[in-house]
């Protein structure tokens, strides 16, 4: 697995690179967003650890750029209590975030967890049709009509569990448990991802017909709209 660390703190990058190399990863590093984009365009990167505060090209601009063409998992590094950057990053397609300062073992655990989820496949040849959506579970692809929709790993995970549990209302806590597989639940993160998912799959995200809200409970996919 190839991991790219994009952070301008050279000592932090050096330490992370050593720790991740000891875990068996091949690690690339960049100290500004422009350099990071150059590496992404040249190398096959399986996961990116991305600092928000970067010189030349900042982390938000970096994230916007790569999400135009790829779904590579991204873990953001944010300042403590900087919720604005955290929410914006998640809305733009980041898959997870860690606040500085952090424990390296925690970051490695999150990297391993995210890579496992991103690489999971199913032996079933199941394809779920939702109106004009075609969800191919083995290939982990989604098409809306003839066009493929680029979803992050967590967006696809949410869509998959809602489609598999058609008509069943799933609480935010349940969705977080199934998709994030973490002990500490952040229901706000679920809401952000649902909002971004609706923007990609709904004709009118303000009036969704595929993913519905059960106020005070959670979300569900309408049973009568799935074949």
- 135-160 tens-digit pLDDT: 988 778 899 988 899 998 889 999 99
Q: What are the chain's domains? A: 2-119 (3.40.50.2300), 127-225 (1.10.10.10)
| In the chain, % of residues over pLDDT 90 | 45
**This prediction's pTM:** 0.57
Residues 113 and 116: their CA atoms lie apart, in Å, by: 5
Contact 74, 95 (CB under 8 A): yes
At CA 11, angle to CA 10 and CA 16, rounded to 5? Answer: 100
141: phi > 0 → left, psi -120 to 50 → alpha, else beta; which? beta
Largest CA distance in the chain: 55
Q: Alpha helix (H) ranges present in the chain? A: 10-22, 33-42, 59-66, 83-91, 104-119, 153-164, 172-180, 187-201
Which of these, 106, 103, 107, 55, lies nearest to 76 by C-alpha position? 107
User: Is 39 strand, coil or helix?
Assistant: helix
pLDDT in tens, 172-212: 988 988 888 666 777 888 999 999 999 999 999 999 999 99
**Of residues 119 and 20, more confidently modeled:** 20
pLDDT in the model for residue 181: 67
Q: Is the pLDDT of residue 73 over 70?
A: yes
Residue 201, CB half-sphere, CA atoms under 13 Å: how many?
A: 31
Contact 44, 86 (CB under 8 A): no
Q: Which of 8-12, 123-127, 219-223 has the highest mean pLDDT?
A: 8-12
38: phi > 0 → left, psi -120 to 50 → alpha, else beta; which? alpha
What is the Cα Rg of the chain in Å? 18
pLDDT in the model for residue 33: 94
27: CB partners within 8 A, 6+ apart: 2, 3, 4, 5, 16, 17, 20, 21
Residue 94, Cβ neighbours under 10 Å: how many? Answer: 27
Sign of the torsion angle spanned by Cα atoms 102, 189, 26, 13: negative
Residue 124, Cβ neighbours under 10 Å: how many? Answer: 8
Q: How far is CA 25 from the centre of its chain?
A: 20
Lookup: tokens for 165: 């549990």
For residue 101, is the peptide bond before it cis, meaning its omega torsion is within 30 degrees of 0?
yes
């Amino acid at each position: 697995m190839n991991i790219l660390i994009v952070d301008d703190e050279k000592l932090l990058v050096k330490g992370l690179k050593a720790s991740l190399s000891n875990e068996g990863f091949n690690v690339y590093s960049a100290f500004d967003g422009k350099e990071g984009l150059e590496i992404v365009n040249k190398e096959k990167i399986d996961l990116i650890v991305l600092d928000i505060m970067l010189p030349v090209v900042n982390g938000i601009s970096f994230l916007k750029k790569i999400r135009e063409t790829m779904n590579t998992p991204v873990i953001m590094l944010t300042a403590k209590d900087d919720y604005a950057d955290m929410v914006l990053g998640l809305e733009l397609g980041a898959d997870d975030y860690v606040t500085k300062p952090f424990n390296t073992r925690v970051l490695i655990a999150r990297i391993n967890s995210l890579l496992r989820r991103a690489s999971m496949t199913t032996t079933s040849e199941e394809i779920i049709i939702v109106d004009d959506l075609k969800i191919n579970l083995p290939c982990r692809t989604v098409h809306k009509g003839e066009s493929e929709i680029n979803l992050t790993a967590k967006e696809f995970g949410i869509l998959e569990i809602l489609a598999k549990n058609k008509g069943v209302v799933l609480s935010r806590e349940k969705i977080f448990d199934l998709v994030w597989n973490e002990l500490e639940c952040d229901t706000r993160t679920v809401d952000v991802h649902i909002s971004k998912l609706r923007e990609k799959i709904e004709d009118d995200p303000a009036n969704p017909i595929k993913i519905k809200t059960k106020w005070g409970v959670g979300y569900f996919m309408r049973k009568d709209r799935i074949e």
